[in-house]
Structure 1
């Protein structure tokens, strides 16, 4: 599309699910849940531009650009409407897609998502520093890269909860051997993060989700984006269903794949798809948010990490 190769996986049949991976990952992050979800749904799992098997050009790596790319991919595949599931950075893309193309988004599932508060791990903030590309060219040299990734995977296998995500981090680190990917990732991060943390937030547009069923899933022990951001989502979108999974880190869909797939299926089964009302959308834009983003953020309180916390009509 538009001269660039876009890789994706398609599985199953039925109502469509669009699975959007996080920063530095690719479609394989969804492997633990893809087959389960494909039993009841058409599952589309792309490699975002700059990731995986998709091209890594000098291009637009903004959230808006990614949302446009997903619209075009779905159009090529003949899919009009989807439930969008976004993990981490992919959550930001999912929110942008639902905002730009509300007529094509039926529901929104955010998984340890970006865009719900400023806090983010120092490792991601480091990518925004001027010397990142040059430093990674040294750190990604074969010998050092192999030793470091092996150490990360060994630490991940120890069973220490704070280290559980290092196997995924090792895969991301290993992929940085490709200078095109390093450059693409740097462009992506600089569009949404600076040295203070996340720049882009849904806070100023959360009121537009009033007719969009939303589910937020988080790992209680997330070391990348704090679980307190789940309570930010609850404050910004009071009808959202919130699921906090114990003994899970930044990749709850990998830590508890069966539980995650059940949450997604139950959420879809128990909610009606959003139908875009152009006139109501105009009214909402005209009225604006009833509570300022700052008040909403200040008024939120951290969620207690429990097996499940749900806030939804009838739940």
Structure 2
């Protein structure tokens, strides 16, 4: 049985996947914390998407896991695209969730350079809480907001700036046509970070990719509508 490996996004962490870990427990779930984030906030952050991909592959090898299903959210979606580009033989099925093929995002709630400047001015905790609010349709009033904000607040300013630099300098557009792994693209239809054009490019560029659009959700559909989200994953990974 191949486990499902979850890679969180910018300012995220493994604890965000608790509902998915329970729903997919029969498959086996491995939720990693990238260096500088979540439970690995004390580790030195990396400053490129390929570096995060290499770190992830090494971690899985150290756990004795050579083949797996893979899901990446937001920045984590960039990381998993890089993993598939360099080690396609290790990924059985792929989910690209709330993500895109470019790090510089037209239509993002603010530019990456603006996020960097505001992080330096406001500090990491204020930045973490402000950005975490954009993930939800109801902003700070969302039920899961405080939990996500607490995870985001673990990040240092160094980790925030490194993550933003990693996204800004990355593009996976040229690799999309080479992805042969069976792929599901998931998007919340009110996502403020990744507009439809980013999602459409993934769906149309990856041969045979399936698309699921979750209504009335922003960037954290797995927390806003977990029952629907978990059913999509279960069907995809067990079909």
Q: 1:183 matched to which residue of 2?
A: 158
Structure 1 residues 55 and 234, CA gap change in structure 2 (3 angstroms): closer
Secondary structure, aligned partner of 2:30: strand
Residue segments in structure 1 that go unaligned for 5+ positions in a row = 1-13, 194-198, 271-315
Contact 2:183 2:208 in 1 (8 A): yes
Contact 2:35 2:46 in 1 (8 A): no
Q: 1:92 matched to which residue of 2?
A: 78
Contact 1:136 1:176 in 2 (8 A): no
Contact 1:220 1:248 in 2 (8 A): yes
Q: 1:102 matched to which residue of 2?
A: 88
Q: Distance in 2 between matches of 1:205 and 1:34?
A: 30
Residue segments in structure 2 that go unaligned for 5+ positions in a row = none
Q: 1:115 matched to which residue of 2?
A: 101
**Residue 176 of structure 1, CA deviation:** 6.6
The partner residue of 1:73 within 59, 65, 78 is 59
* Aligned alpha-carbon RMSD (Å): 3.0
**Residue 227 of structure 1, CA deviation:** 2.9
Structure 1 residues 166 and 89, CA gap change in structure 2 (3 angstroms): farther
Q: Distance in 2 between matches of 1:78 and 1:92?
A: 24
1:251-270 alignment to 2 at 5 Å?
251-270=220-239
Count of aligned residue pairs for this structure pair: 235
**Residue 57 of structure 1, CA deviation:** 4.2
Q: 1:30 matched to which residue of 2?
A: 17
Q: Distance in 2 between matches of 1:79 and 1:96?
A: 18
Larger Rg: 1
Q: 1:308 matched to which residue of 2?
A: none
Contact 1:109 1:216 in 2 (8 A): yes
Question: What TM-score do you get using the length of structure 2 for normalisation?
Answer: 0.85
The partner residue of 1:42 within 28, 37, 40 is 28
Write the deviation string for residues 195-254 of structure 1: whole angstroms up to 9, x where unpaired: xxxx52322111111x21010000011112113322111221141000001111111111
Q: 1:203 matched to which residue of 2?
A: 173
Structure 1 residues 212 and 162, CA gap change in structure 2 (3 angstroms): same
Contact 2:12 2:148 in 1 (8 A): yes
Structure 1 residues 174 and 55, CA gap change in structure 2 (3 angstroms): closer
Q: 2:2 matched to which residue of 1?
A: 15
